[in-house]
Amino acid sequence: MNKKNTPYEEQIKRLDKQYYNLNIYESDDLTRQFHVVSAGLLNYLPQIPYQRHEEIFKNILLHQKLSMIEQDAINLINNIQVKNFTTHTVRLLKSSPAIICTFHTGSYRLINLLLAQYGIPFSLVISQKVLQEQGNMFRKIFSSLSSENSDDFNLINAEFSSSALQMFRELKKGKSLVIYMDGNTGSGSQTNKNENSCLISFLNQQIMARKGVGFLSHAACVPILPVICDRNSLEEISLQFFDMIYPDIKEERNLYAEKTTQKIYDLVSPFILDHPEQWEAWLYLHKVARIIKPLATNTGSPHESLVDKLRFNKIQFGLFKISQHNYIFNKSNYVSYPINSNIYSLLSRAINEPVNKDCIDVNLFYELYKNHVLIHE
């Protein structure tokens, strides 16, 4: 007799089917998001063929949805696989603070449920939007799971300019912090020029990564505990804890912060390489991207006088709309250029079928062909 699926398993199956059948081109917003993710995959994981990008993008949205519905699924905690979370680690976190740093991978919010279940005092560092929309829910979850004092859980707005000082004070009170290293917000405004960031190597390129975790670890003299969540399958979730990273107080603080930031990203890089669809931050990687290895272009194209049929180069460019305005998106540098409706119509048509060179204005053809927007059939 076949085992009957639980309501949770049935929900997962429905969502899996829903996102598999999702038509991303029916929504201007989804189309734009897809091209941004495709640019990230091309630049940072060029070994993945473009033909897989749409599938990966849909699965990113699926995993994002699953992480939302599982954030308060208390029953899941007893069914996930927890690696390297020893009794010694639990005792250590209950007696002294650490900075628990994680990433937006897998069902990344389950770390909060696990800590609450073990009665480990901690403060969760989140964006202002999440705090406003879900702050009360986080507090209720902690109260329902932990028999400890409700003061053992707190929320910190990552976007407040005083957030770093708040975090330092929480650590000095003996409370650990949970911080998402790859969040698209941080202490103050997060940009790729923020002085709170440092340049690190990441996959095939570089990024500007926030170094506040290392800086805070050194200043407060507390260790960093990296943890990564992943799914072996849609129903099988694991949390992998890594060895504590202890600050070297003799080392210059900024140097330690930068070295530690690189070390932590080096831990997650192999996972993202193997499971790109489980990393939500592809959706906003462009905000911190640093391109050092330009995308290869087709230098072997025939001379334009020999070209007849042309297609849109959808591997290296994208088309999308924002509020009825048309844009072409260069994936190699994440730059969008406004275009008029006639050019948008022409390029849209060239996505699905070849267009004849004779139907295109000579000057326009030269610009589009020279810049590899249109390529020969």
Average pLDDT over residues 181-210: 78
How many C-beta atoms surround the C-beta of residue 204 within 10 A?
15
Is the model more confident about 39 or about 377? 39
Question: What gap in Å lies between CA 183 and CA 288, rounded to an integer?
Answer: 11
pLDDT value at 255 more than 80: yes
Alpha helix ranges (H) inside 96-190 = 110-117, 128-145, 163-172
Helix axes 128-145, 110-117, angle to 10 degrees: 30
Helix axes 53-69, 28-44, angle to 10 degrees: 110
Judge contact between 271 and 105, C-beta under 8 A. yes
pLDDT digits (tens, 9 = 90+) for 128-181: 888 888 888 888 877 777 655 667 788 999 888 889 999 999 999 999 999 999
Question: What gap in Å lies between CA 343 and CA 345, rounded to an integer?
Answer: 5
- Longest Cα–Cα distance of the chain, Å, equals 77
Model confidence band, residue 8 (pLDDT cutoffs 50, 70, 90)? confident
Closest CA to 264 of 131, 99, 36: 99
Beta bridge partners of 186: 188
Which residue type, as a one-letter code, is found at position 316? Q
Q: What percent of the chain has a predicted confidence (pLDDT) above 70?
A: 91
Q: In what order do the strands lie in the sheet with 309-312?
A: 355-356, 309-312, 374-376
What letter does residue 311 receive in the DSSP assignment?
A: E
Looking at residue 134, what is its pLDDT?
A: 80
Model confidence band, residue 307 (pLDDT cutoffs 50, 70, 90)? low
First to last CA, the chain: 55
Model confidence band, residue 6 (pLDDT cutoffs 50, 70, 90)? confident
> Mean pLDDT for the chain?
90
CA distances from 295 to 21, 192, 272, 333 (A): 30, 20, 20, 9
The SS3 of residue 120 is coil
